[in-house]
Amino acid sequence: MLTLRLARGSRPLVQVRRLLVAAASAGTGFLLLFILACAVARPEGQLPRLLWCLVPLALTVQFAVAVARTDPATRPREGLSAVGLGPVRLTVVAAVSTAIACTLGSALALLLFLHLRGDLSGLPFDGAAAAALRADQPFPVAAGLTLLAVVPLAAAGGAALVPHTRTTRPPQESLPWGVAAFAGGLAVLASAGGGTAGGLPGWVLVAAGLALAGPALTHGCGALVQLVRPGAVRLLAGRALQEEAGRIGRPLGVLCAVASGALVSLTGGPLTLLPLGPLTPVAAALVGACAAATLLTAAVESYQEREATRAALLELGTPARVLRSAALLRSGALAALCVPVVWGVAELTRLALTR
């Protein structure tokens, strides 16, 4: 009940983020149900497609956890422990609210899937989707419910395990591990030739390497912004990038990995990404949207953390246009960082696949 009351009392922007989590959960749930229906009709060759569903599943969970971290109702504040809302209770609230949003999305996915198959009422759209969803085969509802429970459970577990406190670990510590994972991913892709089965572990290692190297790249980007006699705007932008490198670097690395994979596929590379049949465009759009939304959510969290600093600068007489210019410079610097990284990763991946 406490979780529902906190959810009802949240601001509209917070409710929109929760609805986006529900939408992402619905898309992932629909993909899982589609693969299950295909496996019932034709069991052979469906395991690689089911494993590829782990990609949108992982990004959906990442997005749900990022939204849980920015939820004002679950952030620790002074005085809440006195009324029984300590860190442990707030963690439970975050996990439950995340599970509710994802469960809502999963339920919508099940209703839409059964409706398109004609299991609830007549066939919509003149039965155009019935053949793709294998409406001529019986659908195992129990197995479908089990698959749909994966997203809420994983998201709730992630929201409970990821703390709200910011990390103080130097971002350069994870750079060697990122380089090693990235090189290992290229080696796996080269040996697998971009096939459906071998492409998944290789691309997962590439994405993990970029996620681990993302904080160091963001920190270095902030250092470059401050080079050669910086002014107030460049100092504010560069220091903010360096301070928030641990928070926005990892989702930035994941987004670069997704963009690189899309670039390889769109330019005719031999990499097979998301081989999900007629739902491949839907899965690709879901993956890209979740990666971009996670980065934007991390940026919102960084904005919330800088509220006290921003208020102090305004009280000291700093013009508001200086703060806006610093924010625009940060965004431009990150965009300038992503473009060569995406292009370089795509070229290295294409080179590995053609060896």
pLDDT digits (tens, 9 = 90+) for 6-22: 555 567 788 889 999 99
Please tell me the total count of domains within the chain: 2
Print the domain residue range for 112. 1-165
CA neighbor of 206 nearest in space, from 273, 266, 143, 142: 273
> Confidence band (pLDDT; 50, 70, 90) for 293?
very high
CB-based burial, 182-210: b 16+ in 10 Å, e otherwise: bebbbebbbebbbbbebbbebbbbbbbbb
Among the candidates 133, 165, 197, a domain finishes at: 165
Residues 350, 215 within the same domain: yes
Tell me, yes or no, whether 128 and 264 share the same domain: no
310-323 mean pLDDT? 87
Does residue 100 contact residue 50 with C-beta atoms inside 8 Å?
no
Indicate the residue among 165, 195, 215 that finishes a domain. Answer: 165
Domain boundary among 141, 165, 189: 165
Q: Which residue has the higher pLDDT, 278 or 131?
A: 278
Stretch 213-222: mean pLDDT: 94
In sequence order, the 6+-apart residues with CB closer than 8 A to the CB of 342 are 256, 259, 260, 263
Q: How much is the pLDDT for 104?
A: 95
Contacts of residue 187, defined as CB under 8 A and 6 or more positions apart, other chains included, come to 202, 352
pLDDT, mean of residues 294-320:
87
> In terms of domains, do 31 and 158 share one?
yes
Are residues 204 and 97 part of one domain?
no
What is the C-alpha to C-alpha distance for residues 265 and 152, in angstroms, rounded to an integer? 30
Task: Of 11-15, 74-78, 199-203, 263-267, give the lowest mean pLDDT range.
Answer: 74-78
- Which residues, other chains included, contact 171 with Cβ-Cβ below 8 Å and sequence gap of 6+? 215, 216, 218, 219, 245, 246, 249
Domain co-membership, 249 together with 292: yes
* 24 contacts 63 by C-beta, under 8 angstroms: yes
Q: Which residue has the higher pLDDT, 241 or 6?
A: 241
Say if residues 32 and 150 touch (Cβ distance below 8 Å): yes
Query: At 51, is the pLDDT very low, low, confident or very high (cuts 50, 70, 90)?
Result: confident
The reply to whether 71 and 43 lie within a common domain is: yes
pLDDT at position 197: 58
Buried/exposed code over 44-74 (b: 16+ C-beta within 10 A; e: otherwise):
eebeebbebbebbbbbbbbbbbbbbbbbebb
CA 327 to chain centre: 23
Same domain, 208 and 244: yes
Q: Answer yes or no: is pLDDT of 239 > 60.
A: yes
Q: Closest by alpha carbon to 259, among 218, 203, 297, 212?
A: 203
Query: Tell me, what's the pLDDT at 193?
Result: 65
Q: Within this chain, do residues 118 and 193 fall inside the same structural domain, yes or no? A: no
Q: How far apart are CA 250 and CA 272, in angstroms?
A: 24
Q: Which residues of 213-252 are buried (b: 16+ CB within 10 A; e: fewer)?
A: bbbbbbbbbbeebbeeeeeebbebbbbbbbbbbbbbbbbb
Predicted pLDDT at 201: 85
pLDDT in tens, 92-129: 888 888 999 999 999 999 998 888 887 776 666 555 66
pLDDT at 196: 56
Do 319 and 223 sit in the same domain of this protein? Answer: yes
- Residue 198 pLDDT: 61
Tokens of 143: 């197995």
Residues 15 and 156 occupy one common structural domain: yes
Q: How much is the average pLDDT of 286-293?
A: 94
Q: Please report the pLDDT score of residue 317 as a whole number.
A: 84
The two structure tokens encoding residue 106: 């999963």
pLDDT confidence bin for 70, thresholds 50/70/90: confident
8 shares its domain with 138: yes
26 with 6, same domain: the answer is yes
Give percent of the chain above pLDDT 90: 42
**pLDDT at residue 345, rounded to an integer:** 93
| Separation CA 24–CA 102 (nearest Å) | 8
Contact 203, 182 (CB under 8 A): no
